[in-house]
């Protein structure tokens, strides 16, 4: 201990390591990481916050602005705001006029959907620690939303059941034998089929045997039902449209182009009025179903353009190679072109999905039912909460942001999962 | 099924009104023999008076060429001379505008089934490899046999592994194309084409997109393929390969077939001025 070996000086170039025993020489930035954290923190601050006089000025300026804003937010959230408007109206915000005694139907739907999400995760991806955290936080949020009066214990139990089912679904798919790609393909087919059936399942759970009527779908629940239908229905409409628009046959091409341009030419609100005033004569009186159709038609037009972009981004060599291997046109579309084109168009498609999720609030206007935003208004309209209208809107904004953010996270995950074969 | 029929029979049978104008029924095996090993081989590719236009630009101008089974033909020519267009016409990646193309007795025409039959006889390797980036190396190779030939999955995978051994990279089977070097990708592309068990292989500048140190590994695979008796048509600028492996060199310029002959003829005593000029630039 008394005699430490002399510290080697870096002036001399290090000798090449003798063959067989390689010494690991860390690059300078890694060596720095070994120093005590206080030194590293000081260096980080200097490098990132005060790199130059200009940088220092920018740091101070933005710190000032952020400080003022943060102070305002903290003041509002903790001292100024009266969050009772939310807690007193949780059910109204969440489910509106959905009959309260049928809450178990909502919970069962949530549990079923969670189970399906678990299955899907196990089949196509893997759960990470961050996902778990996200699930727990979102779940807590749902409890908070749905808990009302003395039922909060039941909400917690239902919540635990739903989360439990998510993990059951996940481990079920992990545990199922799927070493060979045939089995994996079957698993994907089955889970995909279940996912496709999820909407009918949910609707049956909600409505069958004296449950709610479609008129009673309301609040956040309505958004949660309409948005997935719009998104998935839109994709189903969009793929043939995109292929049609890229077709060499003129009638098909022109029909698809006309569809896309006409639908994109009017705002969603306009099409929702079509659902209200025209489709009621064409399809039927059920406004929810008409709205679903309109949402799918509307989303489809936008998504078709994104998918067409993906189709055009593919090098022509891919088409040629598929032909040269002997695939028919249909096969090369299904096996070669579409998988790649869809991967390319994931980011804009998810962008459109987020947009349509938020735009389902527009349905309020035509439903004249009280839907999430409408309920915020009715919550506000209660005379005791009149001064607290801003809290209600902030709350609604946060709910929408959380879901939109979750969608964008899922998008990134999708891109990574699909990016294996990236060129 | 069409094996019993000679190309000429098929031509005679299927010559429609359009072809009738240019039809010049030729005796079987009329094509010249450029190498003693090809004596007695039948003509597997017959092209007569083929024209191809891209708008106002004539890419192929009256190209007539007969190629024997097992023959190795190297096509030379400056860029834009129509050599790629020519071999792309042979599996109908391009449609020819006039003239006749008969592959292994199958007349190339509008008939979709004829086209499918031809494509399953003709494999193609591209300059840019054109592997399917979203599929593993193994799936790239098994796709054709499974979807077109309806081969059972296990059988297709066994075949793919066998072909990967043949091109020297069995250990890469589970990787994705982007994880391989250019030379390895091109060898996978060759394996993918071979998986359809074609009688003819077309190579469209297979080494032009490769780094110099990877060219040899691809050329070695091609040479082994040539020695195994495959009929090959190769567009390339690799003069070493042309000199050593080819039975016949064909020189294209401005869409027309200018000169053809044995490698010896080309490298010692080319006839045409344009050929001499081109060879002096490239050698």
Q: Is A324 in contact with B93 (Cβ distance < 8 A)? A: yes
- Dist. CA B50–CA B56, nearest whole Å: 16
Q: Does B120 touch chain A (CB under 8 A)?
A: yes
ipTM above 0.95, yes or no: no
pLDDT band at A408 (very low <50, low <70, confident <90, very high): low
Average pLDDT of the residues in A66-74: 92
**Residues of A whose CB is below 8 A from B124:** 321, 324
B chain contacts of residue A336, beta-carbon cutoff 8 Å: 132
Q: According to the model, what pLDDT value does residue B14 have?
A: 42
Average pLDDT in chain A: 78
Q: Which one has a higher pLDDT value, A196 or A12?
A: A196
Q: What is the Cα–Cα distance from A331 to A323, expressed in whole angstroms?
A: 10
Q: How far is A420 from chain B (nearest CA, A)?
A: 7
Question: CA-nearest residue of chain B to A181?
Answer: B153
Q: What is the pLDDT of residues B29-55, one digit of tens each?
A: 467 888 888 888 888 999 999 999 998
Question: A313-335: per-residue pLDDT in tens?
Answer: 899 899 999 999 989 888 999 89
- What's the pLDDT score for residue A347? 87
pLDDT, residue B8, reads 44
Per-residue confidence (pLDDT) for residue A189, from 0 to 100: 84
The token pair at A102 is 């049928």
Q: Look at residues A221, A208, A207, A199 and name the one whose alpha carbon lies nearest to residue A96.
A: A221
Cβ contact A225:A217 at 8 Å = yes
pLDDT digits 0-9 by tens, B124-161 = 999 999 999 989 999 999 999 999 999 998 999 999 99
The tokens for A136 are 């727990």
Is the pLDDT at A290 greater than 70, yes or no?
A: yes
Chain segment A109-130, per-residue pLDDT in tens: 888 888 888 888 877 776 666 7
Residue A30 pLDDT: 63
Distance (Å) of CA B249 to CA B62, B73, B235: 18, 6, 10
Reading the block at residue B200, the tokens are: 């003819």
Q: Which residues of A touch B (CB under 8 A)?
A: 181-182, 315, 317-318, 320-328, 331, 335-336, 339-340, 343, 418, 420-423
Contact between B133 and A331 using a beta-carbon 8 Å cutoff: no
Any A CB within 8 A of B263 CB: no
Q: Which two tokens stand for residue A189?
A: 């087919």
Whole-number percent of chain A with pLDDT over 70: 76
The sign of the CA dihedral B193, B198, B199, B202 is: negative
**What is the pLDDT at residue A367?**
66
B175 Cβ under 8 Å from any chain A Cβ: no
Q: Report strand pairing: B231-235 vs B98-103.
A: unpaired
Confidence tier at B87 by pLDDT (50, 70, 90): very high
User: pTM above the 0.95 mark?
Assistant: no
């Amino acid at each position: 201990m008394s005699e430490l070996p002399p510290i080697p000086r870096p002036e001399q170039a290090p000798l090449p390591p003798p063959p067989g025993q390689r010494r690991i020489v860390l690059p300078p930035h890694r060596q720095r990481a070994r120093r005590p954290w206080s030194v590293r923190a000081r260096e980080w601050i200097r490098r990132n916050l005060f790199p130059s006089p200009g940088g220092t000025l920018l740091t101070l300026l933005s710190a000032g602005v952020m400080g003022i804003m943060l102070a305002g937010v903290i003041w509002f959230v903790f001292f100024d705001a009266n969050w009772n408007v939310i807690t007193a109206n949780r059910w109204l915000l969440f489910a509106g006029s959905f009959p309260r005694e049928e809450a178990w139907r909502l919970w069962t739907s949530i549990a079923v959907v969670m189970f399906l999400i678990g299955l899907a995760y196990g089949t196509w991806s893997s759960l990470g620690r961050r996902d778990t955290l996200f699930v727990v936080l979102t779940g807590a949020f749902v409890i908070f939303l749905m808990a009302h009066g003395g039922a909060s214990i039941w909400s917690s139990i239902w919540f635990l059941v739903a989360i439990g089912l998510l993990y059951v679904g996940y481990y079920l798919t992990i545990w199922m034998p799927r070493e060979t790609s045939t089995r994996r393909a079957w698993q994907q087919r089955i889970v995909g089929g279940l996912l496709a059936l999820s909407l009918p399942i949910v609707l049956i759970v909600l409505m069958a045997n004296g449950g709610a009527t479609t008129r009673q779908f309301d609040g956040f629940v309505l958004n949660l039902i309409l948005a997935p239908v719009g998104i998935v229905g839109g994709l189903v409409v969009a793929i043939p449209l995109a292929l049609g628009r890229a077709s060499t046959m003129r009638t098909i091409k022109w029909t698809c182009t006309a569809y896309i341009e006409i639908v994109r030419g009017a705002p969603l609100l306009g099409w929702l009025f079509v659902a209200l005033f025209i489709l009621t004569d064409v399809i039927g009186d059920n406004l929810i179903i008409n709205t679903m159709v309109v949402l799918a038609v509307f989303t489809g037009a936008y998504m078709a353009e994104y998918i067409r972009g993906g189709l055009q981004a593919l090098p022509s060599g891919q088409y040629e190679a598929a032909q040269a291997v002997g695939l028919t046109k249909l096969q090369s579309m299904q096996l070669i072109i579409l998988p790649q084109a869809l991967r390319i168009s994931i980011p804009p498609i998810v962008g459109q999905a987020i947009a349509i999720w938020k735009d389902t609030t527009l349905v309020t206007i035509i439903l004249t039912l009280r839907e999430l935003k409408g309920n915020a208004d009715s919550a506000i309209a209660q005379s005791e909460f009149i001064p607290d209208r801003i809290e209600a809107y902030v709350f609604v904004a946060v709910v929408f942001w959380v879901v939109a953010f979750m969608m964008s996270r899922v998008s990134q995950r999708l891109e990574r999962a699909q990016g294996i074969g990236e060129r | 099924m069409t094996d019993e029929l000679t190309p000429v029979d098929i031509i005679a049978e299927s010559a429609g009104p359009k072809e009738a104008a240019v039809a010049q029924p030729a005796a079987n095996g009329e094509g010249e023999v450029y190498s003693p090993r090809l004596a007695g081989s039948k003509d597997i590719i017959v092209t007569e008076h083929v024209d191809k236009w891209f708008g106002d630009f004539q890419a192929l101008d009256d190209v007539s060429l007969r190629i024997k089974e097992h023959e190795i033909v190297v096509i030379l020519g400056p860029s834009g001379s129509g050599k790629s267009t020519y071999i792309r016409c042979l599996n109908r990646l391009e449609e020819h505008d006039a003239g006749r193309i008969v592959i292994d007795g199958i007349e190339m025409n509008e008939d979709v089934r004829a086209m499918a039959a031809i494509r399953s006889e003709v494999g193609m390797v591209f300059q840019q490899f054109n592997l399917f980036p979203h599929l593993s190396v193994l799936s790239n190779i098994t796709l054709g046999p499974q979807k077109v030939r309806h081969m059972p999955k296990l059988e297709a995978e066994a075949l793919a592994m066998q072909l990967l051994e043949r091109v020297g990279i069995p250990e890469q089977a589970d990787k994705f194309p982007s994880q391989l070097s250019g030379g390895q990708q091109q060898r996978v592309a060759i394996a993918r084409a071979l998986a359809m068990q074609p009688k003819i292989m077309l190579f469209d500048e297979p080494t032009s997109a490769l780094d110099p140190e990877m060219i040899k590994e691809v050329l070695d695979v091609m040479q082994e393929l040539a020695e195994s008796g495959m009929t090959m048509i190769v567009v390339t600028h690799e003069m070493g390969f042309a000199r050593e492996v080819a039975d016949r060199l064909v020189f294209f310029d401005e869409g027309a077939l200018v000169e053809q002959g044995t490698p010896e003829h080309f490298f010692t005593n080319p006839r045409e001025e344009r050929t001499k000029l081109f060879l002096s630039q490239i050698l």
